[in-house]
């Protein structure tokens, strides 16, 4: 997929990183879900957050969205302290997950209209038509979400994630429930959006081939900590494997070969 492979942009050269996380901790009584996590996401990059179930990915994303309050640590987004400027920053961000469904009784258009108003989008219906064209949703706009297939609901959720033309997009399993052809097409859409909007993506995924093809940096999580980082190619070479999936399995089962300081 050359369009994706060649889409890694560098609009943030010489500017502040899109996301800077330092010493992030989330503790639930005696359980530490996220343990002193520190990482940087450069502007214009596609960064993957990888780890097995319970590694801390979802909790980390939730803290970046203000859905979960950190126990300790700081989050800086687009050069501003998230704790102090969350309301303003969230207007420049968006999120999609197949596990956070839109209201199923509402039509796709109604759902997108509500979110457009919540984000203060001007000319909401024009924006909805643009996204419907980009994500092949035009025939589905007037159908209730509950009548759609899982893959169609995923595309509707992606439309919601781009309704406000965000500069930072957090995606959890962005191509879940999509057939290979549609998933490839969605990846091309993400790459094109990054190019046109200068956007930054942080993606949690279990699709290792997708990460290899789309992402230029990987954060490996295990037991609440970042245990290794690097490009997909550098991690494959470091572990002496042939695919990122093999690296993922080794880290998930045995830990990283060399922990990140």
pLDDT tens for the 261 residues of the chain, in order: 333 433 344 444 447 899 999 999 999 999 999 999 999 999 999 999 999 988 999 999 999 999 999 999 999 999 999 999 999 999 999 999 988 889 999 999 999 999 999 999 999 999 999 999 999 999 999 999 999 999 999 999 999 999 999 999 999 989 888 899 889 989 999 999 999 999 999 999 888 989 999 999 999 999 999 999 999 999 999 999 999 999 999 999 988 876 444
pLDDT confidence of residue 2: 37
Cα separations in angstroms, 68 against 95, 231, 242: 14, 29, 37
Which residues, including other chains, have CB under 8 Å from residue 44's CB and lie 6 or more apart? 8, 9, 10, 11, 12, 18, 194, 198, 199, 200
* Nearest Cα to Cα of residue 160 among 203, 213, 110: 110
Domains and CATH numbers, the chain: 2-92+167-254 (3.40.50.300), 104-165 (no CATH)
Distance CA 247, CA 231 (A): 12
């Amino acid at each position: 997929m050359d369009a994706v492979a060649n889409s890694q942009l560098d609009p943030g050269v010489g500017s502040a990183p899109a996301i800077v996380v330092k010493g992030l901790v989330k503790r639930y009584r005696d359980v530490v879900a996220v343990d002193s996590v520190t990482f940087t996401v450069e502007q214009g990059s596609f960064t993957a957050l990888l780890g097995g179930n319970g590694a801390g990915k979802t909790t980390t994303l939730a803290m970046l969205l203000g859905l979960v309050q950190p126990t300790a640590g700081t989050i800086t987004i687009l050069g501003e302290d998230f704790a102090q400027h969350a309301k303003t920053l969230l207007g420049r961000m968006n999120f999609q997950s197949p596990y956070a469904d839109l209201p199923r009784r509402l039509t796709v258009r109604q759902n997108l209209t509500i979110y457009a108003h919540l984000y203060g989008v001007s000319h909401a219906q024009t924006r909805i038509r643009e996204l419907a064209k980009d994500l092949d949703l035009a025939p589905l706009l007037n159908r209730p979400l509950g009548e759609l297939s899982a893959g169609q609901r995923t595309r509707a959720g992606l439309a919601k994630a781009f309704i406000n033309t965000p500069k930072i997009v957090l995606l959890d399993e962005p191509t879940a429930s999509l057939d290979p052809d549609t998933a490839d097409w969605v990846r091309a859409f993400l790459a094109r959006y990054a190019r046109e909007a200068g956007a930054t993506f942080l993606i949690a995924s279990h699709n290792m081939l997708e990460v290899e093809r789309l992402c230029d940096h990987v954060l490996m999580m295990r037991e609440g900590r970042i245990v290794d980082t690097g490009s997909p190619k550098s991690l494959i070479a470091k572990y002496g494997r042939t695919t990122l999936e093999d690296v993922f399995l080794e880290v998930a089962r045995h830990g990283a070969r060399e922990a990140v300081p």
